A and B are shown apart, each in its own frame.
Chain A
Amino acid sequence: MLIKKGGGIPYSEITPESVYMRRREFIQAASGAALGVAAAIASPLSTPVSAQGNLAKLPNVKKSPLSTTEKPNSYEDVTSYNNFYEFGPEKEDPKANSGKFSPRPWTIRVEGLVKTPQSYDLESFIKPYALEERIYRMRCVEAWSVIVPWVGIPLGDIIKTLQPLPNAKFVEFTTLMDPTRMPGQRIPIIRYPYVEGLRLDEAMNPLAILAVGLYGAVLPNQNGAPIRLVTPWKYGFKGIKSIVKIRFTDTQPVGTWQISAPREYGFYANVNPMVDHPRWSQATERRLGEFRRRKTEPFNGYADQVASLYSGMDLRKNY
């Protein structure tokens, strides 16, 4: 019997397994590059970084009556002191470790109880809306606060366009899960991907926005590029960053911090000076750049706009 060894293919022609296993990355990178080139002509959101390394200015940003008249913190403060564990647990880590992160191209998947579940390119996702500047107070659950001039889109407008089904009661957001691009995700301090959620009526409140910019320019990586949630009457951890998924559901979502420490972080997480964190008081806060502590306001000073959402609720139980 004649046994013929080997086929006609020399080994040098065979794709190494390691490369084969990464084929999706190649395709992604290639298509990403193509998309990038195509979109480069379109807007500053698709080419966020200029040749000089500056973040591109966002055009036609409307002012909003919902902005506070307080003076915003410096760009330096807002972009150098962040909680974004995906880039490390220390406040300086996100700025130090997110430099190489490229939030383009970016796809947002809309799913669950919604008219048409589908994926959107970031560009097309936000295109229908006018950008607004919203200067908001941000109160961190760690008892510090900051004033941030966001640029974003009312979340309610987006939700109206997406058309959730009548039985949808909540909306859940998910952050990108990619430890190769978000090195903090390699350290299991909290569960990844980060998840947060809102009741649908909270999400429809005019104060809630999806932010894509800061100080009139594209959102820096350490602040949650390319798109993040901002709910100024809630503690900062509700403001989920680098969103890749929006899901409408009929069950209350469970947030990442709720999983981490359910006695300390609740679903609502409304700023409330009367309800302390089990380990520290929430009665006062330190505004970045100030020496003396200041009193924390119920709903972070946004009670007029949002208190009615919670009428009749026991806010001690629903912390």
Chain B
Amino acid sequence: MTPIVLLKRLTFCAALIPAAQLAYRAYTGDLTANPIEYITHKTGDAAVMLLVITLVVTPLRRLTAWNELIQLRRMLGLFAFFYACLHLFTWAIVDKFFDVETMVQDVFERPFITIGMVTFLLLLPLAITSTKGMIRRLGRRWQQLHRLVYVAATTAVIHFWWGVKADIREPRLWALALSVLFGFRLWWMLRARALSRS
């Protein structure tokens, strides 16, 4: 097994940990006295975390010059989408129990839910166009489209931030991580521009 294949398998298993934790807690009856809220929070946490980790791949690849790392990116992105789906379904199906009227009202009236829904709608086309065929078919436009992930990661962290009552430590940490990751890209972009000019 080549190192990248091994790393891919390990990453796959690691990305399943939040789901496995929930499954285990469900099995042992340890989802707190309010399981629906607990599952909503934990799937949301996992989605934000994986979205941020997805954005680590490219800088890490440049810093280590290990180009094969790029093979992790799609899987991580799809796992982020997977947890975002679980998060949305928990809210829509389990929590609101198909109460469409209330949900529509929430999406339009409550900024924190609006931005959560925006995040999901941004992730949706990225997931749909993540197949090899789509990458080929879209060509250059694929790259442009997938820059939306920066917007989605930002709105995801804002959704988290606006959702907490007072304890902003976790969303603040993700915001900081995003700034560092965006900082790398900005720095490289500016440097490339300066080099091409000189």
- In Å, the complex CA distance between A76 and B33 comes to 8
Which residues on the B side are within 8 Å of A291 (C-beta)? 36
Chain A positions 253-304 with a Cβ under 8 Å from a chain B Cβ: 260-261, 278-281, 283-284, 286, 288-289, 291-293
Nearest chain B residue, comparing its CB with the CB of A90: B167
- A89-B166 contact, Cβ under 8 Å, with A144-B34, A286-B34, A288-B34: yes
List the B side residues contacting A289 at CB < 8 Å.
33
A63 at the interface (CB under 8 A from B): no
**Does A92 lie within 8 Å of B165, measured CB to CB?**
no
Question: Is B162 touching A91 in the complex (CB atoms < 8 A)?
Answer: no
**Shortest Cβ distance from residue A185 to the other chain B in the assembled complex, whole angstroms:** 14
Name 18 A/B residue pairs within 8 A (Cβ), A-sorted: A73-B33, A76-B33, A81-B33, A142-B165, A189-B166, A189-B167, A260-B166, A261-B166, A279-B110, A279-B112, A281-B105, A283-B102, A284-B102, A286-B34, A286-B95, A288-B33, A292-B97, A293-B95
Task: Assess whether A91 is in contact with B166, with CB atoms less than 8 Å apart.
Answer: no
Interface of chain B residues 31 through 71 with chain A (CB within 8 A): 32-34, 36-38
**Contacts from A to B (Cβ < 8 Å):** 73, 76-77, 80-81, 85, 89, 91-92, 142, 144, 146, 187, 189-190, 260-261, 278-281, 283-284, 286, 288-289, 291-293
Q: In the complex, which range does the number of interface residues on chain B fall in?
A: 20 to 34
Complex contact A80–B32 (CB within 8 A): yes
Residues of B with C-beta under 8 A to A260: 166
Is the Cβ of B32 less than 8 Å from the Cβ of A279? no
| A281-B34 contact in complex given A89-B166, A189-B167, A190-B166, C-beta closer than 8 Å | no
Instruction: Decide if B33 touches A280 in the complex (CB within 8 Å).
Output: no
Chain B positions within 8 Å of A288 at CB level: 33-34
A-B pairs, top 8 by smallest CB distance, nearest first, are A81-B33, A77-B33, A89-B167, A288-B33, A189-B167, A189-B166, A279-B112, A190-B166
A297 to chain B, nearest CB (A): 18
Whether A293 lies near B34 (C-beta < 8 A) is no
User: Is B18 in the interface zone, CB < 8 Å from A?
Assistant: no
Chain B, Cβ-Cβ closest to A82: B33
| Contact B97 A281, beta carbon cutoff 8 Å | no
Write the nearest CB–CB distance from A77 to chain B, whole angstroms.
4
- Residues from chain A with Cβ under 8 Å of B167 in the complex: 89, 189
Bound-state Cα–Cα, A164 to B150, Å: 60
What residue in chain B is nearest A256 (Cβ atoms)?
B166
**Across-interface contacts of A146 in B (CB, < 8 A):** 33
A142 to B111 CA separation, bound complex (whole angstroms) = 17
| A293 to B106 Cα, complex, angstroms | 15
Q: What B residues does A91 contact at CB under 8 A?
A: 32-34, 38
The answer on a CB contact under 8 Å between B33 and A279 is: no
Q: Do A286 and B163 touch across chains, with their CB atoms under 8 A apart? A: no
Known: A80-B33, A81-B33, A144-B37. A280 touches B110 (CB 8 A): yes
Chain B residues positioned under 8 Å from A284 (CB to CB): 102
Q: Are B110 and A81 in contact (CB under 8 A)?
A: no
Please report which residues of chain B, range 88-133, place their CB below 8 angstroms from some CB of chain A when the two chains form the complex: 95-97, 102, 105-106, 110-112
CB neighbours (8 Å) of B112 from chain A are 279-280
B97 contact set on A, CB distance < 8 A: 292-293
Whole-angstrom CA separation of A80 from B38 in the bound complex: 13
Q: C-beta contact mask, B13-37 vs A, less than 8 Å → 1, else 0?
A: 0000000000000000000111011
* Interchain CB contact under 8 A, A81 and B32: yes
Report the nearest A residue to B38, measured CB to CB: A91
Residue on B with the closest CB to A265? B165
The answer to whether B32 touches A286 (Cβ under 8 A) is no
- Closest residue of chain B to A74 (Cβ to Cβ) is B33
Closest-CB distance, A89 to chain B (whole angstroms): 4
Query: Given A292-B97, A293-B97, are A279 and B163 neighbors across the interface (CB < 8 Å)?
Result: yes
A266→B110 CA distance, assembly (Å): 19
Distance in Å from the Cβ of B37 to the closest Cβ of chain A? 7
